Structure 1
Amino acid sequence: MIRSVSHISAMSPYALAQLNAPEGKRLISLSQNESLHPPSPLAVEAGAKALKAGHLYPDPDWGELREALSGLHGIPAESILCGNGSMELIACLAQAFADEQNAVLAPAHAYPFFRTAAQMVQARFDVAPESDGRVSVDALLTAVRPDTRIVFVANPGNPTGTRIPRAKLVRLREGLPGDTLLVIDEAYGEFADYLGEPMFDLVGRGDTVVLRTFSKAYGLAGMRVGWGLFPPEIARELRKVMSPNNISAAGQAAATAALKDQAYMVATCRETAMLREGFRTRLQQAGYDVPKSSTNFVLIRMGSPDKAHRADEALRAEGVFLRPQGGAGLADCLRATIGAADDLDIAAGRLERRAKEEKT
């Protein structure tokens, strides 16, 4: 038998969504934080057009996409790197800047892939406690050790949905050692951009990276396009471990076109927020603890791991799929993506009925 190296053998596979609806039941997937709507028609048209040159390799430097991102956000194009989803960039950052001799730090209920990225390079993965599902800057700074090389924070957070104000992130950066890289993962950033607290300026310090993706607000999850703003020295090292030609020509074209239709993206975010608040209110009135969210999902505290498991099983039996959160240290919670209004109505109805049954 051919065996993998020991640290890979010891890892658990990354937990994927299980979406097998029972026979005769319509699948209602509220589990993957996909966009409420398909991509902008401009993105669909551009992606389809790019397929005509599908026999050619894509632009390895993502030229048009970088220029479009630069123009929209007022950031230097040469400091932008694009990845096959932001997951590629997270994994490559760990590969380039962490190893078995040092540590990666994240909040206790952070995006589980942060842990996976650390495990892949044999770095110790440390966690800092959170306060009621909110990242604590003080706890993160207290958890820093002499060998801490990377601190990952998602903002807004996944799966909590909570957000760290800019002032606190600045305080975190200023409190970290100069040789510790801060990575701010803003996969859901567009849902909070209306607050006017961009973080791109921190990259100019030389010790911070800001990541984003087209998978959420732009509705391009299937095209796998992520990006980030990097200090030049960090970008130079990262490109050594990134796959060349990592984003298809169709993905690059669709993402570039999506940026030109900001009205579509903003309208999607606004509609998502409206549906989210209505869904959250219904669940709260039914007795569930549902924290405020700044994303396209909500976290539902079910009361105990057993109640969460039983609710998840009952929902799946009806074809309604939420996402259990044991992998993020929240076994008593389910996460629900904000999908179509009709699907949310069905999910809310099932959860309301379950809450009544729990009381009797």
Structure 2
Amino acid sequence: MIRPVPHVSGMAAYALADLGGENTVSLAQNESAFPPSPAAIAAGRDAMANLSLYPDPEWTELRAAIAEVHGLEPTRVLCGTGSMELIGCLIRAYAGRRDRVLGTDYGYAFVASAAAQCQADYVKAREVDLTVSIDDIIAALTRETRIVFVCNPGNPTGTLIPNSEILRLRDRLPADVLLVVDQAYAEFSDDTNDPSEIFALTDRGDTVILRTFSKAYGLAGARAGWGYFPPEVAADLRKLLNPNNVSVASQATAVAAIRDQAYMRNVVYRTAEIRDRFAEDCRALGLIVPQSHTNFVLLRFASTLDAQRADAVLRANNLLMRGMGGYGLDNCLRATICEAPVMDRCLTALRGVLK
């Protein structure tokens, strides 16, 4: 029998969301409540005529569009098949056997899987009130720490720390520790946290900023993510990236999406409006709902049993939220924000459980 190497054999597979049955409305994957920009859809459709060609390995137009919108240097932008590819390559480049990758209690779970692939140890610093704690990250540092991952805004919590805390963390980290700031939901908080302050950290040579087109731009199916890197880190990462990673259609779609900032901002505004109303209605039912700066909310029930009962009732109504047991939050469900009628259906189901 052919066997994998021992550390792969002992790994657990990355836990994907349960998508339910054919008629289920999924609120489990933090997809956009609204379709992509019409300009993005049209660009992707036109690009289909070029599928006989390999995609541009330099992402030339996409890099230029990202740099123009955010005021960045194009050569320091790298693109991946979602930010997941960039995360995996960063860990393979900068951590190995018995090195430590430091995240937080409720950081992105894929980081642990990526660390296991290269036999690095994934360690979690405590969060306080479901929020990243810089003091706890600093306290968890050891000589073996090579990478620190911070999600801001957080997933699955939706909570946010100010830029000043990220800057404080970078100042307290050793110079040989890479800081990776995962900003998959940043478009929902850019009005609160000036993005230029965080992008400027890359000038130090020891910090990477990651973003994605999957959330605010509604392109989860296109698998297009990007990051801003110090030049030396970018050069090393290119050695590990698939040279034709982002498809022809995905690049064209992402270019048109990021150039349509008015549409994206409108999606963020409409999503936040539905989110905040839904959160308030859930709090009125007695649920604990942290203030969210993303396109989802975390619902904390009085007990694990209540969360299980709510999950069962929602499923009976063809609605599926994400259970949070994998994060140690057995009494929580995470609800992606969908269009208002779907959220109203969720409230009706929850009222039946919590009345």
- Taking structure 2 as the reference length, what is the TM-score of the superposition? 0.98
1:237-276 CA-to-partner distances (Å, cap 9, x unmatched) read: 1111111100001000000001111110000000011000
User: For residue 206 of structure 1, what is the amino acid of its counterpart?
Assistant: G
The yes-or-no answer on 1:296 pairing with 2:295 is: yes
**Unmatched segments (≥5 aa) in structure 2:** none
Distance in 1, Cα, partners of 2:142 & 2:300: 32
Match of 2:8 in 1: 8
Secondary structure at the counterpart of residue 93 of structure 1: helix
1:65 equivalenced with 2:99 (yes/no): no
Moved over 3 A (4+): none
Match of 1:20 in 2: 20
One-letter identity of the residue aligned with 2:4: S
Is 1:252 the counterpart of 2:251? The answer is: yes
Distance 1:237 1:161 in 2: 32
Aligned partners of 2:193 and 2:344: how far apart in 1?
A: 32
Secondary structure at 2:334 match in 1: strand
Matched residue type, 1:307: D
Structure 2 counterpart SS, 1:323: strand
Q: CA deviation at 1:313?
A: 2.4
Q: Contact conserved, 2:163 with 2:193, CA < 8 A, in 1?
A: no
> How far has the Cα of 1:303 moved from its partner?
2.3
Question: 1:121-270 maps to which residues of 2 (within 5 A)?
Answer: 121-198=118-195, 199-270=198-269
* CA separation of 1:277 and 1:76: change in aligned 2, threshold 3 A: same
2:82 counterpart of 1:92: no
Choose which of 34, 37, 42 in structure 1 pairs with 2:34.
37
Q: Work out the CA distance in 1 between the residues paired with 2:5 and 2:332.
A: 34
1:327 match: 326
Work out the CA distance in 2 between the residues paired with 1:223 and 1:309: 33
SS of structure 1 residue aligned to 2:179? strand
Question: How many matched pairs?
Answer: 353
Does the aligned pair in 2 maintain the 1:83–1:225 contact within 8 Å? yes
Mapped to 2, the partners of 1:315 and 1:274 lie a distance apart of 22
User: Is this contact kept in 2: 1:111–1:328, CA < 8 A?
Assistant: no
Q: Distance in 1 between matches of 2:145 and 2:101?
A: 6
Alpha-carbon distance between aligned partners in 2 of 1:37 and 1:228, rounded to the nearest angstrom: 24
| Aligned with residue 55 of structure 1, among 43, 52, 59 | 52
Q: Distance in 2 between matches of 1:123 and 1:304?
A: 35
Aligned-pair RMSD on alpha carbons? Answer: 1.0
Does the Cα contact within 8 Å between 1:135 and 1:164 map onto a contact in 2? yes
Letter in 2 for 1:8: V
TM-score, length basis structure 1: 0.96
Secondary structure of 2:294's counterpart equals coil
1:315 corresponds to which residue?
Answer: 314
Q: Assess, with a 3 A threshold, how the Cα gap between structure 1 residues 313 and 13 changes in structure 2: closer, same or farther.
A: farther
Letter in 1 for 2:265: V
Aligned to 1:351: 350
Instruction: Decide which moves more: 324-333 or 265-274.
Output: 324-333
| Percentage of matched positions with identical amino acids | 51
Which residue, out of 63, 79, 82, partners 2:79?
A: 82
> Does the 8 Å contact 2:20/2:26 carry over to 1?
no
**Paired residues of 1:50 and 1:249 also in contact (CA < 8 A):** yes
Q: How far did residue 339 of structure 1 move? A: 0.4
Partners of 1:153 and 1:196 lie apart in 2 by 15
- Once residues 305 and 117 of structure 1 are traced to their aligned partners in structure 2, the CA distance between those partners, rounded to angstroms, is 29
Find out whether 1:340 has 2:339 as its counterpart.
Answer: yes
Q: How far apart are the structure 1 equivalents of 2:327 and 2:160?
A: 17
